Chains A and B, each alone.
Chain A
């Protein structure tokens, strides 16, 4: 069994011969049927005298650059558009795909395939998607000079390709996505910031397709990493309210509230209606505050304990709140009336004996702001006291939420 390479640009317009060696037409396109096989060219579409014909992969006896395609079976059926086909020339060439490994959006110039001989027939499979100058040269020169010359000339240009398993096709139509067996699970494992970069480079339809398909948690993380607020809004508006609500529930309440603020009232009502009541009420509380005040900047994800809690109690409280742990660096203490009394750096609790009252570990001065404190003043306070977390209290001194350093960075970057 030997293998050799074939470019899609070479396959196009390759002559096809029947059993008696008569030429019946030239190749116009080739298609994969992903539900059957992920990489094998399943159909060759041939332009015959009057219409296009379909050649199944098992009707090909031999296929080579020098000799064209020789059939082993001439029972060809006319081509009709089949939604299960991923046509390389139509659906892949010149379109944008996602390079999952390189974490970027690329445009397909050409496709490299391998020909496998197993004695009975020659099978063609997609190996790589070609990007970069070498494949541009092939496309521009295609048909202007013999393929042999193109192959000889191109070796000077460094190749640039992506393995087919790392190439993720973007298909806006959900029906076709199913039929073509396209999934975006590989994208869910990416870092949200990388996924956001990818999404920013795609068109709106493709963007919507990705957010519709990936799970809500990954979608929420990626959405909050999208830099342009206008684009965040456009993405949310393009989604079904149910899906948008699922994504909102996964987001930090302050970010969700900020985003809903940017939406038109009608749309944000629709989304709120679809949200679970717990997340909904948190977000709705935050929506009350003006965006450029402490209330608008804060989120309600914090850990507060009663005044005389011990280090042991802290551990117990944290065990029930694993989803908060990623960004947690400060604990808050409150009295019977829920008034804020102290802030405790988390790291101090780690080295304290289990029975220690954590009130004793609190920072010397308690720095807090009222909900209507201005944005400018808050950034000043963060700078002056080198804070990571700043508690926000309401008129009665009750803890209302916390502002974290990343909220301040967002404000500063937006200037």
Chain B
């Protein structure tokens, strides 16, 4: 028995040894927004949206790699760099948009908390305020560092989707086919779904978070090689899980009951149907962990980015009097983000999906700044982008703007 325990401890040690900023970011990437957006994609369109995963993975790798490279080479955060190179007004606009979009993301994390615990019959009027207070204290007063490891470990829950993906006995041939065959429907709901999928996978706030984490860890240009590998592995992991969530939901929902618009967490939990009576339990535990993990990181990362960019003092090791704006922003994001969820009959799942679409709409702007920054010789020296990376990223910027405009256009047209 003791031998088993020691072996387990050894595996845990190895598990945590490889963890760096890239891995954490990849795990937080599949937050409540991620789970529900992919579930929705599978439930509504079956295998159709699978083709997006390859280009999304490519773009995710390119974006994350650029951020961590900038962090390692310059030793500065993304908002710091935007401020120093583009001035205050550009930073101010970027930060205002980031706060607005991230607020909807915080809402979606608390919506995830509410809907996951509602499956256990716990009213959101109890769960959300409790969790909001817990998150605030954990990050400001408590020892977040050690709790982070628990969160990370609990993320093995995603494996249930991989198992479920096999158990629903999917049509592997067509799944493989649709993974490489682009299908573009000019339907508002389909385009909305695509923007959301890109937005949830490559969320703007993650770029700020990852770069800050790389800087915080003190990675230098010389050691950057290891970080790059970690980032790329993390990106693949994110996409593999996304693939299985879509396949599981396509099998368990789309093919079983026809196209379904997921309205609440109970419907999304059907993606784990092969687990029978445990599906609800597994789903809600996983969703809860993912939501609260991201709820810890998101408001904090937002407050840091804004304060750094605008030059206010920041940090949880500072006193309230030293960094009033930082604490105000951090607290406001949590209070408003959790408060909105308490409005009676608030459409939780729709809120989560909307926040991911807003992510997708803001992404091109962040990418444009990133591409401009990383190509500055005086900033990056020999570490500027190569030609093909620039080509792909500019193409993605144009494509995302195109998708967003197409969605706006079609929505206006159909009014």
Interface positions of A (Cβ within 8 A of B):
93-95, 104, 106-109, 131, 136, 139-140, 142, 203-205, 207, 228, 230-231, 234, 237
Contacts and interface: CB of A to CB of B under 8 A. Distances in A.
Contact of A136 (B74, B84, B92, B218): B92
B83 A94 contact: yes
Contacts of B255: none
Interface in B56-99: 74-76, 80, 83-84, 87-89, 92
Given A140-B92, A203-B75, 14 more contacts: A93-B87, A94-B84, A104-B313, A107-B83, A108-B311, A109-B88, A136-B88, A136-B310, A142-B89, A204-B74, A205-B75, A207-B75, A234-B218, A234-B220
Contact of A107 (B74, B92, B220, B311): B311
A231 B220 CA distance: 10
B217 interface: yes
19 contacts: A93-B87, A93-B88, A94-B88, A107-B83, A107-B310, A108-B311, A109-B311, A136-B310, A139-B87, A139-B89, A139-B92, A140-B88, A140-B89, A140-B92, A203-B76, A228-B218, A230-B217, A230-B218, A231-B218
Interface in B156-187: none
Q: Is the interface of B mostly helix, strand, loop or mixed?
A: helix
B84 A95 contact: yes
Contacts of B89: 139-140, 142
Interface residues of B, number: 16
Give the secondary structure class of A's interface: mixed
Nearest to B89: A140
A92 to B, nearest CB: 11
A146 to B, nearest CB: 17
A93 B89 CA distance: 12
A231 B215 CA distance: 10
Nearest to B83: A94
Contacts of B310: 107, 136
Interface string B305-326: 0000011010000000000000
Contacts of B83: 94, 107
A201 to B, nearest CB: 9
Given A136-B92, A203-B74, A203-B76, A94 B218 contact: no
A237 B220 CA distance: 11
A231 B76 CA distance: 14
Nearest to B73: A204
A137 to B, nearest CB: 10
B84 to A, nearest CB: 5
B88 A139 contact: yes
A140 B80 CA distance: 17
B221 to A, nearest CB: 9
A95 B80 CA distance: 9
Contacts of A109: 88, 311
B22 to A, nearest CB: 17
Contacts of A142: 89
Contacts of B84: 94-95
B72 to A, nearest CB: 10
A237 B74 CA distance: 16
Given A93-B87, A140-B92, A205-B75, A106 B311 contact: yes
A203 B74 CA distance: 7
Contacts of B87: 93-94, 139
B11 to A, nearest CB: 22
Contacts of B74: 203-204
B69 to A, nearest CB: 14
Contacts of B313: 104
**Considering the complex of A and B, which 4 residue pairs feature the smallest CB-CB distances, nearest first?**
A107-B311, A204-B75, A230-B218, A139-B88
Nearest to B88: A139
B49 to A, nearest CB: 40
Nearest to B215: A203
B220 A204 contact: yes
Contacts of B311: 106-109, 131
A106 B310 CA distance: 10
Nearest to A206: B75
A3 B80 CA distance: 36
A13 B218 CA distance: 41
Nearest to B314: A201
A64 B80 CA distance: 34
Contacts of A95: 84
A140 B76 CA distance: 23
A138 B80 CA distance: 20
A104 B74 CA distance: 21
Contacts of B88: 93-94, 109, 136, 139-140
Nearest to A95: B84
Contacts of A107: 83, 310-311
A204 B92 CA distance: 25
A207 B76 CA distance: 12
Contacts of B220: 204, 234, 237
A359 B83 CA distance: 66
Contacts of A136: 88, 92, 310
Contacts of A104: 313
A93 B183 CA distance: 49
A363 to B, nearest CB: 38
Contacts of A93: 87-88
Nearest to B217: A230
A206 to B, nearest CB: 9
A108 B87 CA distance: 10
A133 to B, nearest CB: 8
Contacts of A228: 218
Nearest to B222: A237
Nearest to B75: A204
Residue among A106, A131, A203, A231 with the highest chain B CB neighbour number at 10 A: A203
Contacts of B92: 136, 139-140
Nearest to B308: A107
A243 B324 CA distance: 39
Interface in B177-236: 217-218, 220
A396 to B, nearest CB: 39
A95 B311 CA distance: 9
Interface centre among A107, A109, A131, A234 (most CB of B within 10 A): A107
A108 B75 CA distance: 19
A95 B91 CA distance: 13
Nearest to A228: B218
Nearest to B221: A204
A130 to B, nearest CB: 10
